[in-house]
Amino acid sequence: MDGSIEVAEAQFIADTVRNNWGLPVITAARDYTLEDITGGFLWRDGAGDPQGLITWAIDDEHAEIVTMDAFIQGVHIGGRLLDAAEAELAGRGVRRLSITTTNDNLRALAFYVRRGYRLVRLDLDGVDRVRAVKPGVSATGNEGVPLRDMWELEKLL
């Protein structure tokens, strides 16, 4: 898929995070508001339409991917966004990059592990913290898997 990566504007980040994730965004490590997100990249297809977004928060030599959205699956948008984010963050002095996914998202787990991420924290019943703030979160996730735990993965840059 032809396209390009560009710095995401604050308003696009805010709209996408509110619509796709809701606020706050809750990870295994912490809760994020829009003010905590320090940057992001947008993938536009050849026609200029937004097809993906990755956002992050930097804390000294550590950063966390706060959100990752590929609006079309299976065409390597997520990989392109993650590669660009890793290069950008390494250039800013980040040495450790983490991301959280849930126990039902086996596709994401395989995606991150293939790219050198390792499991560093298992937040058993962590999705209960999410449901306390966002009661509409389903009890069941992808492929009927009970949605319970959060997995934090990390990569050294």
Question: What is the percent of the chain with per-residue pLDDT over 70, rounded to a whole number?
Answer: 99
- Using a 10 angstrom Cβ sphere, with 0-12 exposed, 13-18 middle and 19 or more buried, the burial of residue 14 is middle
What local confidence, expressed as pLDDT, does residue 1 receive? Answer: 66
Give residue 109's identity as a one-letter amino acid code: L
Domain that holds residue 54: 3-156
- How many independent structural domains does the chain possess? 1
| Helix H or strand E segment including 70 | strand 62-70
Rg (CA), the chain: 15
Residue whose C-alpha is closest to residue 68's, from 96, 94, 107, 120: 107
Question: Is the pTM of the predicted complex or chain greater than 0.75?
Answer: yes
CATH classification of the domain holding 115: 3.40.630.30
What local confidence, expressed as pLDDT, does residue 2 receive? Answer: 84
pLDDT tens per residue across span 23-37: 999 999 999 999 999
Report strand pairing: 96-102 vs 150-156.
Answer: antiparallel
